[in-house]
Amino acid sequence: MSKKLYVKTYGCQMNVYDSERMADVLAPLGYSPTDKPADADMVILNTCHIREKAADKVFSELGRLRAHKNQKAKDGGTMVLAVAGCVAQAEGAEILRRAPFVDIVLGPQTYHRLPEMVARAARAGGSVLDTEFPVEPKFDSLPEPSYQGSSAFLSIQEGCDKFCTFCVVPYTRGAEYSRTAQAVLDEAKIMMAKGAIEFTLLGQNVNAYHGDGPDGKPWSLARLIRELVEKVGITRLRYTTSHPRDVDDDLIAAHGAYPQLMPFLHLPVQSGSDRILEAMNRRHDRAFYLDLAEKFKKARPDLALSSDFIVGFPGETEQDFEQSLDLIRQCGFVQTYSFKYSPRPGTPAEGMAEQVPEEVKEDRLIRLQTLLNDQTKRFNKAMVGTVLPVLLDRPGRHPGQRTGRSPYMQPVHVENAEAWANKVAPIRITKVHPNSLAGTLEPS
């Protein structure tokens, strides 16, 4: 009998990828996706623990789902409720204590065992908790991806050994792990055969990639990119998220050598102050970052940089903060994700003295975002009149319209573009909206 699966995803792109893979794992059990939780026979919340707000959302969502589950039981049905992802990993036991109606709690490293957990939950009638870091890597036990669409995520690396003092990822995702190059190449070929044109290689620290190569040597990210472009034939490629410390010369050179690599790089810096970077245990200083930015732009002059910033890290003074603003100007970031520092349980920064008051964090966040918005606007305006290759991977808001991403990840809307669905179209940019661009098909 066909059963319905509803998956809600929070957090980063790794979680988006994991959610798709969980659906793949459950498909042989008869589960097909639905977007209505009330109809679902199974609900998975794939959670994020990165900031307090993200984690809190899970408990309020669980409250809502409990009502659906009760209704379903009244109607004589059942709903299996599972919490996956990083909150599950960090607070598994706490979830079962606060929400005993949850059937399954599983960490990011165990979802290949989901069918077994579903069976165990049904048999035992109680809750199943599986937040181990198993010896057998999950990637080796996953079914072929049931991929759809033209823009694909492909996980190549997971976990992190950097231990930035503010961050939970090394605890929730575990130690750094790279898939073998062959596994990545095989998965890319499968996805390509199913229609993928653009690939985003994913990892919490994607440029730390060091998977075993088919030649018996460890391959770097640059080596893997070479194979994906030259042998597999990928024509549009991105990777995220990189750590400045793990950038090597080959990776910079790849940006000069391969036009297939999109000229847009997300390279989080977190702060512009050396004092704060040190307290964050980022293992690089401002000068090191600036030098990298320059090298990337030298290799690929049209490259634009994006970054992440945290404001109000413990001990951050007004002067430290102004150095972040200064770095934003100096690097000319065209996009950033910026966050108020959120103390996370078990991380070194949580217990640091000199926590910054909330209103100071709020004020700094607004100032940083105002500066950044100006730079983004200027960058977007400069696109008007240019022709960009846009992968029109989504239907637009009305018939005939398609939407896609520019090489710089800007959403672009195009009218009368149905014929270019899921293709890379030459688009002349005509207008700038607050969060997107509009353009017309350029006759070729």
Footprint of ligand SF4 on this chain (CB under 6 A)? Answer: 160, 162-164, 167, 169-170, 204-205, 243
Please name which of 85, 81, 68, 76 lies closest in space to residue 127, comparing C-alpha atoms. 81
β-bridge mates for residue 304, sequence order: 264
DSSP string, 267-298: ---B-S-HHHHHHTT-S--HHHHHHHHHHHHH
Among 4, 5, 6, 14, binds ligand F3S (CB under 6 A): 14
Tokens 């706490």 correspond to 94
Which of ligand SAH, ligand SF4, ligand F3S, none lies near 170, with the C-beta cut-off 5 to 8 A by kind?
ligand SF4
Among 48, 50, 104, 365, binds ligand SAH (CB under 6 A): 50
Closer residue to ligand F3S (CB): 25 or 90:
90
Closer residue to ligand SF4 (CB): 167 or 262:
167
If one asks whether residue 368 binds ligand SAH (CB under 6 A), the answer comes out as: no
- Element containing residue 18 per DSSP (H, E): helix 13-26
Which of ligand F3S, ligand SAH, ligand SF4, none lies near 344, with the C-beta cut-off 5 to 8 A by kind?
ligand SAH
Smallest separation, CB 23 to ligand F3S (Å): 17
Instruction: Assign 416 to helix, strand or coil.
Output: coil
Please name which of 104, 108, 127 lies closest in space to residue 48, comparing C-alpha atoms. 108
Q: Which residue is nearest to ligand F3S (CB)?
A: 11
316 contact partners, CB below 8 Å, separation of at least 6: 271, 273, 276, 341, 356, 364
Instruction: Name residues contacting ligand F3S, limited to 132-191 (CB under 6 A).
Output: 168-169, 172-173
Instruction: Name residues contacting ligand F3S, limited to 29-48 (CB under 6 A).
Output: 48
Instruction: Assign 129 to helix, strand or coil.
Output: strand
Structure tokens at 37: 């939780």
If one asks whether residue 15 binds ligand F3S (CB under 6 A), the answer comes out as: yes
d(CA 47, CA 65): 14
Instruction: Name residues contacting ligand SAH, limited to 205-244 (CB under 6 A).
Output: 205, 241, 243
Which range binds ligand SAH by CB under 6 A, 68-76, 84-92, 334-342, 366-374? Answer: 334-342
Which of ligand SF4, ligand SAH, ligand F3S, none lies near 86, with the C-beta cut-off 5 to 8 A by kind?
ligand F3S
Strand order in the sheet with 335-340: 264-266, 304-311, 335-340
If one asks whether residue 84 binds ligand F3S (CB under 6 A), the answer comes out as: no
Among 58, 84, 86, 368, binds ligand F3S (CB under 6 A): 86
Structure tokens at 284: 């690089």
Structure tokens at 292: 């990298």
Reported for 142-145, long-range contacts at CB under 8 A and 24+ positions apart, including other chains, are 142/21, 142/24, 142/25, 142/112, 143/24, 143/25, 143/27, 143/28, 144/24, 144/190, 145/20, 145/21, 145/24, 145/187, 145/190, 145/191, 145/194
Closer residue to ligand SAH (CB): 26 or 349:
349
Which of ligand F3S, ligand SAH, ligand SF4, none lies near 15, with the C-beta cut-off 5 to 8 A by kind?
ligand F3S
Which of ligand SAH, ligand SF4, ligand F3S, none lies near 341, with the C-beta cut-off 5 to 8 A by kind?
ligand SAH
β-bridge mates for residue 390, sequence order: 425
Among 5, 7, 12, 310, binds ligand F3S (CB under 6 A): 12
Which of ligand SAH, ligand SF4, ligand F3S, none lies near 266, with the C-beta cut-off 5 to 8 A by kind?
none
* Number of neighbours of residue 342 by Cβ within 10 angstroms: 18
Closer residue to ligand SF4 (CB): 204 or 307:
204
What's the angle, vertex CA 255, arms to CA 251 and CA 258, rounded to 5?
Answer: 115
Q: Where on the chain is the footprint of ligand F3S (CB under 6 A)?
A: 11-12, 14-15, 48-50, 85-86, 168-169, 172-173, 204
